[in-house]
Amino acid sequence: MIALATSASIRASEPRLTFVGHSTVLIELDGVRLLTDPLLRHRVAHLRRLGGAVDEQLYREVDAALISHLHWDHLDLPSLRLLDPATRLIVPRGAARLLRSLGLRHVVELGVGEAHAIGPVEVVATPANHSGFRPPLGPRGEALGFLVRGSQRIYFAGDTDLFPEMADLGRLGALDVALLPVWGWGPTLGAGHLDPRRAAVALRMLRPRLAMPIHWGALCPFGMGWLRPRFLAQPPRAFADHAARLAPAIDVTVVGPGQSLALLD
CATH number of the domain within which 119 lies: 3.60.15.10
Q: How many domains does the chain have?
A: 1
Task: Please indicate, yes or no, if residue 3 is contained in any of the structural domains.
Answer: no
Task: Please indicate, yes or no, if residue 219 is contained in any of the structural domains.
Answer: yes
In terms of Cα–Cα distance, which of 70, 121, 117 is closest to 96?
70
Cross-strand partners of 118: 121
Task: Please indicate, yes or no, if residue 7 is contained in any of the structural domains.
Answer: no
**Structural domain boundaries, residue 122:** 16-262
Contact yes or no for 35/56 (Cβ under 8 A): no
- Rounded CA-CA distance 121/129 in Å is 25
Cross-strand partners of 211: 178, 252
Q: What is the pLDDT of residue 5?
A: 52
Task: Please indicate, yes or no, if residue 199 is contained in any of the structural domains.
Answer: yes
Q: Are strands 32-36 and 24-29 parallel, antiparallel or unpaired?
A: antiparallel
Contact yes or no for 144/124 (Cβ under 8 A): no
Task: Please indicate, yes or no, if residue 21 is contained in any of the structural domains.
Answer: yes
Task: Please indicate, yes or no, if residue 229 is contained in any of the structural domains.
Answer: yes
pLDDT in tens, the chain (265 residues): 344 454 454 546 689 999 999 999 999 999 999 999 999 998 877 788 887 789 899 999 999 999 998 887 889 999 999 999 999 999 999 888 888 888 888 999 999 999 999 999 999 999 999 887 787 766 778 899 999 999 999 999 999 999 999 999 877 678 999 999 998 887 777 777 899 999 999 999 999 999 999 999 888 777 666 667 676 789 999 999 999 999 999 999 999 999 999 997 6
Report the SS3 class of residue 174.
coil
Task: Please indicate, yes or no, if residue 6 is contained in any of the structural domains.
Answer: no
Task: Please indicate, yes or no, if residue 1 is contained in any of the structural domains.
Answer: no
Kindly give the interhelix angle for 196-206 and 230-246, rounded to the nearest 10 degrees. 40
